[in-house]
Every structure is written in structure tokens, then in C-alpha cells.
Amino acid sequence: MDLKQYIQEFHGNDKEWFKKETDDWQHTQRIQKVYDIQDYLEGKHKILEKPSEMYGGKEFHPRKIVLQYAKQILNFQVSYLISNPLTLAGNEKVVSEYKKVYKKGNFHRQDYKIVDYITKYGYCFEYLYFDDKKTIKSKIIKPENSYAIFDDENNIIGFIEHWTSNGVSYWNVYSPSTVQRWTDKGGDGIKLIGQYRNISGLPVHYHNQSEIDENYGRSDLEDIVSLIDTMEDILSKLADSFHKFHTPIPISIGQQITDGAISKDIAGMGLSLEEGSDFKLVASKLDWKSFEVLWKTLMQAVLDVSSTPSVSMNQGTPANLAEVSIKMLYSLADMRAGQNEMYLREGLYKRFEKIRKMLEYVGVTFTDEEYDTLDVVFQYARPQTEKDIVDNLKTLSEMGGISLESILERSPYTVDVQQEMMRLNGDKEITGNKNNNLNVHKGKRDKEV
């Protein structure tokens, strides 16, 4: 089934079929879920809905403590995978051209946004296009604006980008060959305001895995939100308990003291009671140990479920750890990053295909043998001492297993690889000239002798 057949079968060739498609309840439900996630990450948590209550004859406003652990954990997962830019590998000619595309189009920043969207919402879409200078650019379409059209085999046959601004609705309708832009601006109904040639085809679809919906994936936030809600609830209740139950109540046992009142201005004085009388301050005892056990259990559950190392959230203070110990501490993070890498790779390979097609329009071509060597290498942001990195690079260099340019790319002291290569080549030329001059002078002296 192609897009024309879909429009005919499900929308009866209606001219405004794209509006009906975006108004479908399945899309509406999905988009609402995206908005709910955005609200949660902005700090609108369940604890804020806790109602007021009556205590001591007055309205009591309970504590509503918000913990933004979820945002920190999701940011850690994204940074751990993609904070170090991806390294392109393969045929020198192909890699050189793709590096130019990445640098001019700022694709490394787009890679970060893609991983961020996949982690938070489970999916996103990327559209490649030429700008006015024939530079290949990447546009990341937000999940709340994305409406993909799938056939019976879950292949994308069309795509709609829909948003509303200042009460005006816009629709960008993508087909494999064209992009149409529609709007209802002006109040005269929906009208076509532009039609363009689609060189790159349909947007690239990035998504993780879901047991229910394999097309749109699943947010990592869903695994930890209930645990964090519980932590916010018990912490807020603990803060309330100090105001409600831990204010001491003076109790006098025996003969009444003078007029039955104790001056609130007493400071630094003793209290004299009749024989057989007793005076004490009664307060509710706090079972802090139970709270500590419960809190640590919930916190550890959040870290385990999200595959977040405890040391990254200040839950441990290790010192002088060997490289092997660090790898063990970050083993769960490596596993989660490996899964996200697999999802990202699936989309990157489709991106590479589209870039190849677009490069052909500007006269840059590759053979299939050259292109098939293209791949991408991820470098996780696992803590590692600079000394260990340099020692490993030195060992590889002595073995002849790595080039000078690759050493500079992975060196923690190199800022600009190309500039450093030029400096090294300049130093070699200067050294070579010095050696040549010494040889010339030495030859002259030999002749004189």
C-alpha cells in the first residue's frame, strides 16, 4: 500500500485528509502522553495535587516536596552515550565527505537531540534537506508534532508535521516525492501555501523498543516515575510530621502549679514542684531508622531500574578505583547505553543512505564497495583517568595498531585534530630542513679536510 491508496481507502480522497488524520483519537492519545511527560519533567508531579486538610481547627497546607531525580537520570543516560561525538569509520574518501557534511550541518548536536527524545519519549523523526547554500541540514521533528502513516507491515508511507501557533494551524505533508504546506490562516478554510520537491524522501524514524507499540517505542521515564512519586510522598509526610506531632506538650502530674499557667517568658529558670509531682515534655518519637531503610530501598530501586550507577548520583564515595572496578560499577550503564546505541544505529544507517543520495545531486559519488565500509563508533562517557588513556594509546602506537590522527582524536589533550596534524607536519618540515643544513655543512667540512 502506498500513500495514495491509503488516502483513498481510509479518507475517500478527501482534500483535507491530513486534518482528519491528525485528529484521529490514536494520535490524540499519543500526543497527550508526550505532553504529560513534558509536564512531569518541568516539575508538575503528582505530589502537587495533594489537597489541603483541617488540623487543629484550621486549614493545614501539607508539604509538597518535588524531587527532580527523573530529569537527572535521563540526562545521565543521554550524556553517557552521546556526550562524546560519534566517530565515523571506513573508506577514507567516504569518511572525509561525511565528516564535511557532519561539520557543516552540525549533525553532532542533532545526534544528542535524537538520543534525548528517544530516551524521554521513545521516538522522534529527522528530515534531511538542502539549505540555500546547498548544505545538507537536519531538522529534528518534535514528537508532539509528528504523525507518521504506516502500512500493514509497519513501513512508513507518509508523514505529517502538524503544529499550532497563535491560533493558526499548519500542516507539512511529506510524501516520498513532495512536501506540501497547508494552513488555515485567514479563516477561509485550509489552503495550500507551498509545494516543494522532496529530495531526501520521508523522514528518518528513530525509536526504542516497546512491548505494546513497536512504532513509537516507550519512554524510559515510565520505569521510575512511580518510585519517585513514593519518595516524594514519604518525604513530604515526614516534613509535615515535625509540625503536627513533634512539638512537645508540657504535662504536669500532681498538685496544680500556682495559677495553672507557665510563663512563656521563662528562660534559664528552674521549675519547683510539690513533693510527689512530676513535670515532663511529651513528644512523638520519630522512627528515623525505618525511614532511612525505606528511603535507601526506594533510591536503590530507582537506580537499578534505570541502570544508573550509584556513584553518579552521589550515593557512594569510592576512591582510588582501578579501571576494572570502574567498569564493574558502570556495567549496567554500559548495557543500557548498548541498547540505546542499537536503536540509534538503525536510524543512522538510514540517514547515511539519504546523505549518499543527496551528495549525488552535488556531484559526489561512491562505489558500493567504498560506501559499504562506512560505519560509526560510539565512545561512552565512562570515567577514565587521562594517564590510562595515554598509556593505552602509547601501547597501540608501539604495536602499530593505530594511526597518528586516531591518537590525536582520542587524546584528552587535543582540542583541534586537524590543526594539531598541521603543526606536527610543520615541525617535521622544520626538523628535516635543519637536518639537511647540518648534512650540507658536514659535507663541506669533509671536502675541505
Q: Which range, of 11-20, 115-124, 374-383, averages the lowest pLDDT?
A: 374-383
The answer to whether residue 117 sits within a structural domain is: yes
Predicted local confidence at residue 369, as pLDDT: 94
The answer to whether residue 356 sits within a structural domain is: no
Predicted local confidence at residue 51, as pLDDT: 84
Which is it for the CA torsion 259, 262, 263, 266, positive or negative?
positive
Q: How confident is the model at residue 164 (pLDDT cuts 50, 70, 90)?
A: very high
Per-residue pLDDT, averaged over 188-203, amounts to: 92
Q: Which of 286, 310, 329 is the last residue of a domain?
A: 329
DSSP for residue 211: S
Predicted local confidence at residue 379, as pLDDT: 86
Could you tell me the CA-to-CA distances from 148 to 19, 141, 202 in Å, in that order?
Answer: 13, 11, 10
Q: Provide CB contacts within 8 A for 327, sequence distance 6+.
A: 334, 382
Neighbours of 294 (CB within 10 A): 13
Extract the runs of DSSP E, i.e. beta strands, from 364-440: 375-377
Burial bucket for residue 120 (CB in 10 Å: 0-12, 13-18, 19+): buried
Listed residue (164, 169, 165, 167) closest to 183, CA to CA: 169
- Structural domain tally of the chain? 2
Same domain for 210 and 68?
yes
Residue-wise pLDDT tens digits, 388-429: 778 888 888 888 878 887 788 777 777 777 788 888 887 666
Predicted local confidence at residue 283, as pLDDT: 64
Same domain for 217 and 299?
no
The answer to whether residue 156 sits within a structural domain is: yes
Predicted local confidence at residue 440, as pLDDT: 47
Q: Which range, of 24-28, 52-56, 209-213, 399-403, averages the lowest pLDDT?
A: 52-56
Checking if the pLDDT of 443 tops 60, the result is no
Q: How confident is the model at residue 375 (pLDDT cuts 50, 70, 90)?
A: very high
DSSP one-letter string for 304-319: HHTT--GGGGTS----
Contact 181, 26 (CB under 8 A): no
Same domain for 57 and 196?
yes
Q: How confident is the model at residue 252 (pLDDT cuts 50, 70, 90)?
A: low
Among the ranges 83-87, 135-139, 246-250, 296-300, which has the highest mean pLDDT value? 135-139
Round to whole Å and give the CA distance between 274 and 255: 7
Per-residue pLDDT, averaged over 360-376, amounts to: 93
Checking if the pLDDT of 377 tops 50, the result is yes
Same domain for 217 and 240?
no
Q: Which of 287, 303, 329 is the last residue of a domain?
A: 329
Q: How confident is the model at residue 303 (pLDDT cuts 50, 70, 90)?
A: confident
Residue-wise pLDDT tens digits, 129-146: 999 889 999 999 999 999
**CA of residue 78 relative to chain centroid, distance:** 4
Same domain for 216 and 243?
no
Listed residue (172, 180, 107, 176) closest to 141, CA to CA: 172
Listed residue (64, 24, 62) closest to 45, CA to CA: 64
Same domain for 240 and 105?
no
The answer to whether residue 32 sits within a structural domain is: yes
Same domain for 168 and 248?
no
Same domain for 203 and 292?
no
Same domain for 15 and 108?
yes
**179 vs 152: which has the higher pLDDT:** 179
Predicted local confidence at residue 41, as pLDDT: 93
Residue 243 lies in domain: 235-257+276-329
CA dihedral 174, 180, 183, 186 (to 10 degrees): 180
Could you tell me the CA-to-CA distances from 418 to 92, 199, 415, 423 in Å, in that order?
Answer: 15, 32, 9, 9
**Residues 157, 365, 197: CA angle, nearest 5 degrees:** 40
**214 vs 35: which has the higher pLDDT:** 35
Same domain for 245 and 137?
no
Contact 81, 345 (CB under 8 A): no
Q: How confident is the model at residue 58 (pLDDT cuts 50, 70, 90)?
A: confident
The mean of the pLDDT values for the chain is: 83
Q: How confident is the model at residue 449 (pLDDT cuts 50, 70, 90)?
A: very low
**140: which strand partners?**
126
pLDDT > 90 in the chain, percent? 46
**CA of residue 374 relative to chain centroid, distance:** 26
The answer to whether residue 194 sits within a structural domain is: yes
The answer to whether residue 443 sits within a structural domain is: no
Predicted local confidence at residue 413, as pLDDT: 78
Q: How confident is the model at residue 364 (pLDDT cuts 50, 70, 90)?
A: very high
Q: Provide CB contacts within 8 A for 267, sequence distance 6+.
A: none
Checking if the pLDDT of 185 tops 50, the result is yes
pLDDT > 70 in the chain, percent? 80
Q: Which range, of 201-205, 306-310, 398-402, averages the lowest pLDDT?
A: 306-310
The answer to whether residue 348 sits within a structural domain is: no
The answer to whether residue 449 sits within a structural domain is: no
Predicted local confidence at residue 275, as pLDDT: 64
Same domain for 194 and 242?
no
Retrieve residue 272's grid coordinates: 519547683
Same domain for 93 and 185?
yes
Q: How confident is the model at residue 198 (pLDDT cuts 50, 70, 90)?
A: very high
